[in-house]
Amino acid sequence: MLAAYAQAVRILSAFVFQAQAAAMIVNPVPRSRAAPMRVRSNMSAKKDILLTPDPRLSQVCESVTEINADIRKLAKRMLKDMYEADGCGLAAPQIGEMVRMVVVDCDYTDERGSENPYVLINPKIVKADGPMRSFSEGCLSFPGISVDIERPSHVIVHATNLDGDLMQYEAEGNLLAVCLQHEIDHLDGVTMVDHLPPLKRAQKLQECEQAFYRRDCVPCCVGIVNGRLKAGLSKQDMDTLCRSGGSCTRSQIPALVGGGSTSGTGPSATLAIARMAGIIPVMAPGLRDSLADLDALSGSSRLVFCGKVSPDKALLFSSRGVPVLRLPAEELADAYLVQRDLEVNECTVIPCGDTLGDIAEKASAVAMDIKRKVSAV
């Protein structure tokens, strides 16, 4: 029992943020002594929306030369993926199809159930003006991340629809104006984080760390730096990660390590690292119901803090042996300690809220509560 409690004191909370990842650990090895770890992996790649740092997200797409059955099939597939991922826009390169086509639907809600999609083939922004407006943007290729980006508030786009007609789309000061510019960016190999200076990325990362410091928890960042998987990053390592513009999945780790690359870690990669390090609680805002994340969850026994989880996703997690707990922080600590004491070999997902701050506050509160309970033993 005491051995389980001693292990529980080591709290790892990893999160993906603006194309880099960081992790939090209570009482970590001093950074000057933290040894890099290397990973061996034999995981299969998933076949859904591409996630950063997939190189195809940085490539310029080719124009569509003919609207044929293949293009119509692709449009149908893109819309299906967009709706299933609760997105309002998707570009063809995000599913590995390097053609200039996007789909958008800024009116759809699960509650209303009505769909009003647009399929834009070879879209071109012919006018972008008006006052610059800051909007908090998300992206299906950067799950769990939102960044504030300034764009022109008024936009006019010309594009061809599936019937071959040349259409004009105009939007001003609303979500559609943002979505059109965001998705067309993808066709030129530009993602939302390319609009964000590295300094702001590092600033947001530090803000999240402060949530742990406020509760007397010492943060320890993890990532892949120059091909070395490191737990405990220096400021220089952190700056390098912020400039890397990427976060990897578990299946991408071997290639990144072998190529001497630098990358943050997404949920599946972080869970793999946490398992190797013997660390249990993990903070993963970008957790999805993708095959990679589900396989990582069902194959480990971790306490995973994440964003909101819909009832449908909670049911899916549970069907894979991954229960979703909605408990107050003080009860979560008890539930975790009992789970470890009984040596229950299952992963538990803890939904915490919309923002990184929400997740960091709850994860650090549980970490501190576990420390107090262990100290009292």
**CATH number for the domain that contains residue 326:** 3.40.1790.10
For the entire predicted model, the pTM comes to 0.50
**CATH number of the structural domain spanning residue 148:** 3.90.45.10
Tell me the pLDDT tens digit for each residue of 105-117: 998 654 555 788 9
Residue 256 has phi, psi (to 5 degrees) of: -65, -45
Categorize the per-residue pLDDT at 23 as very low, low, confident or very high, splitting at 50, 70 and 90.
very low
Residues 238 and 201 in one domain: yes
Residues 222 and 350 in one domain: yes
Q: Which of 158, 190, 222 is the last residue of a domain?
A: 190
Tell me the pLDDT tens digit for each residue of 198-210: 666 666 666 666 6
N-to-C CA span, the chain: 10
Tell me the pLDDT tens digit for each residue of 325-374: 777 766 777 777 776 676 655 677 878 776 666 777 777 777 777 777 77
Cβ-based neighbours of 311, under 8 Å, separated by 6 or more:
none
- Here the tokens at position 169 are 């789309």
Categorize the per-residue pLDDT at 229 as very low, low, confident or very high, splitting at 50, 70 and 90.
confident
Question: How far is the C-alpha of 310 from the C-alpha of 324, rounded, in Å?
Answer: 10
Residues 301 and 245 in one domain: yes
Question: How far is the C-alpha of 255 from the C-alpha of 187, rounded, in Å?
Answer: 25
Residues 141 and 21 in one domain: no
Q: Are 46 and 86 in contact (CB under 8 A)?
A: no
Q: Which sign does the torsion angle of CA 371, 271, 319, 340 carry?
A: negative
Residues 349 and 297 in one domain: yes
C-alpha distances (whole Å) from 159 to each of 90, 174, 228, 247 are 15, 19, 45, 32
Higher-confidence position of 179 and 256:
179
Residues 229 and 365 in one domain: yes
Q: Which sign does the torsion angle of CA 81, 82, 83, 87 carry?
A: positive
Question: How far is the C-alpha of 297 from the C-alpha of 308, rounded, in Å?
Answer: 16
Higher-confidence position of 130 and 290:
130
Residues 98 and 201 in one domain: no
Q: Which of 280, 254, 257, 284 is nearest to 268 (CA)?
A: 284
What's the confidence (pLDDT) of residue 26? 30
- Here the tokens at position 230 are 């490191």
Tell me the pLDDT tens digit for each residue of 146-205: 778 899 999 999 999 999 999 999 999 999 999 999 999 999 999 887 787 766 666 666
Q: Any idea what the Cα angle at residue 286 is, between residues 133 and 265, rounded to 5°?
A: 110
Residues 176 and 307 in one domain: no
Residues 202 and 292 in one domain: yes
Q: Are 366 and 333 in contact (CB under 8 A)?
A: yes
Q: Which residues are designated catalytic?
A: 183
What's the confidence (pLDDT) of residue 180? 97
Domain of residue 132 covers 55-190
pLDDT > 70: percent of the chain: 69
Instruction: Pinpoint the alpha helices (H) of the chain.
Output: 2-8, 69-84, 175-187, 198-213, 235-244, 253-258, 267-277, 291-298, 311-319, 329-341, 356-375
Residues 31 and 103 in one domain: no
Cβ neighbourhood burial of 350 (10 Å; 0-12, 13-18, 19+) = buried
What's the confidence (pLDDT) of residue 63? 96
Q: Which residues pair with 135 in a beta bridge?
A: 149
